[in-house]
Structures are given as structure tokens and as C-alpha cells.
Chain A
Amino acid sequence: MTEHRHESCHRLLGHLSEYLDGEAAEALCAEIERHMAECENCRVVIDTLAMTVKLYREQERPSLPRDARQRLYAALDLTEYLPPDSP
């Protein structure tokens, strides 16, 4: 790996979230994509960074358990409005 390329890795690293979120300017996107094509390490970092975000975004989102909802409505003095159990 050349010294020049190593510097590019460092400089581009700070912009990867912008790139993944589609917020990077066109020139920067082109530079990152060019760099990824020749730098395997950066390609792996970008792909695994994207996958990290994807896995967290797709995580199951637990809803409030039924008994906790009952306690919440009681604490708010709203028990009479407690919605019936959903099927």
C-alpha cells in the first residue's frame, strides 16, 4: 500500500457516514467509490459499517409489555381509558 493511498484512507474515513446516508457531495462520492475499487481494506470498512447500521435499524422493536402498560395507565390515573387487549 502506498503512502499516498494510506493518507486517502484516513481522510475518507471521516466522511463514510455522510456517504452512506447519501449526504456526501457528488465529487466526494466519486472519490470514495474510486478509492474503494482499489483499496480492499476501505471496501471492507464501508461494507461492514453499512451492515452495522442496517442490522441496528432492522432490529426488532419491543413494544411496551401489557402489564407495564397497565401500570403506566394507573400512574397517569387513566386506567378507565386502557385500551382492550389487541388480538
Chain B
Amino acid sequence: MTHSAPTDAGIDLDALRAGDRVAFVRLVETYADPLYNLALKLTGHPQDAEDVLQETLVSAYRSIGGFQGRSQIGTWLYRIATNVALMHQRRRQPDSVSIDEPLALGDGEMVPRQLFDWCCLPEPDLMSAEARQMMEQAIQALPETLKTVFVLRDIEGLSTEETGEVLGLSESAVKSRLHRARLFLRERLSEYFAEWAGGNHD
């Protein structure tokens, strides 16, 4: 018998594989919030996020017996949730780009256009309800391939290596997609804050 060390989250893998319900409840309590947040960012809809969370954990409950433990259990759950969320998104937007297709962004995507320096705006302006809503919309405007990487790395706080494991990408692909996502979002935020500052100080 090989011994399964408890994962970072203090989850008892042997008990989970044996169908122990209390162990599964602990798993649910540990990951329900992060998985819900991940699903909310990927789908942009609270109802979809709830459905994704349910499908993810129901599917995990059914297949936990076959979990090999080659990756962290968190990585495994993130992978299921990401796939379920992307399927929901494609049902909602059937013409969206699949994760395997090349990106359809133009050559000029890397060139920063907005050069307004909004860093020194007062914090209440940067954190206003309207600004937060704009930030959500900006995430939803990202192509799927960039959105998944950005949400896992910068919002969920996974490492480059973990993000690569979840998405089946090399570390260099994760880094390059993360950078492109950030440049895209910087452009959107700059546009918004430039307009906002212009409107307020004219």
C-alpha cells in the first residue's frame, strides 16, 4: 500500500476514495467558495456559477474513487470546474472560440494604445461600484484562452505550474497568455479611467 499524504488543504484522500461522507463534506467546505468564485469569473453569471459548482462537485463525488493523486486534489477540482464552466459558456455563446483553437487576436494586440496615467486617481474612484462592474465586463470580453489563464493565475492565485496543470498548458504558454490577458485588461481599464477623469475634471 502506498501512503497518500494529506494534501495542503488537510484533505484525507484515503477516506475520500473510500466514500467517507464527512471527508467529502470537508472537501466541499474547503473548495466551495473558491470554485464558486472561479465559475463566477469564467461564466459571468451567478446562476451559471451555481450550476457549474454543483456539476463539478457531483462529478467529483462520483469519480473520487478513481482519483489517482498524481495532481493536488485542488488542481483536479479546478480542472473539472473549468471544463464545466467552458461548456456552459459555449452553450450560451455557441460561436465563442474553443480552447484548442488559435487565438484570433490581431497582430496589433500587444501595442498599448491608452497612455493615460490613472494610477494616482483616489482609491474610492478606482474601487467604485461602476469601476468594479467595468472590470467584470472586461474579463468577460477576454478570449476564452486568455480568460481561463488570467482567472486561475491572477484571481484564484494559482501558480504558473498549477495553472498549466489545470489547463494542460506548458509554463511558457501560461506566462505568455497571462501577459496578453493583462495587457488587454490594462487597455480596457485605461480607456475607462481616462474617460472618467476627463468627464470629471473638464
Contacts and interface: CB of A to CB of B under 8 A. Distances in A.
Given A41-B115, A52-B186, A59 B178 contact: no
A80 B140 CA distance: 37
Nearest to A42: B112
Contact of A55 (B24, B50, B126): B126
Interface residues of B, number: 44
Given A49-B183, A53-B154, A61-B37, A78 B135 contact: no
A44 B28 contact: no
Contact of A51 (B46, B58, B119): B119
B33 A64 contact: yes
Contacts of A72: 28, 32, 50, 53-54, 57
Contacts of B58: 75-76
Contacts of A87: none
A10 B111 CA distance: 8
Given A52-B189, A78-B21, A14 B28 contact: no
Q: Pick from A13, A64, A76 the residue with the most CB of B within 10 Å.
A: A64
Contact of A45 (B57, B115, B178): B115
Contacts of B112: 13, 41, 45
Interface string A11-41: 0011011100001000000000000000001
Contacts of B53: 64, 68, 72
Given A61-B37, A64-B36, A78-B25, A16 B179 contact: yes
A10 B54 CA distance: 45
A18 B37 contact: no
Interface of B: 21-22, 24-25, 28-29, 32-33, 36-37, 40, 46, 50, 53-54, 57-58, 61, 110-112, 114-119, 126-127, 132, 135, 150, 154-155, 157, 175, 178-179, 182-183, 185-186, 189-190
28 contacts: A10-B111, A13-B110, A14-B110, A14-B179, A17-B178, A41-B115, A44-B115, A45-B115, A45-B186, A47-B119, A48-B118, A48-B186, A51-B118, A51-B119, A51-B189, A52-B185, A52-B186, A56-B154, A57-B154, A59-B155, A62-B37, A64-B50, A64-B53, A72-B50, A73-B28, A76-B24, A76-B58, A81-B25
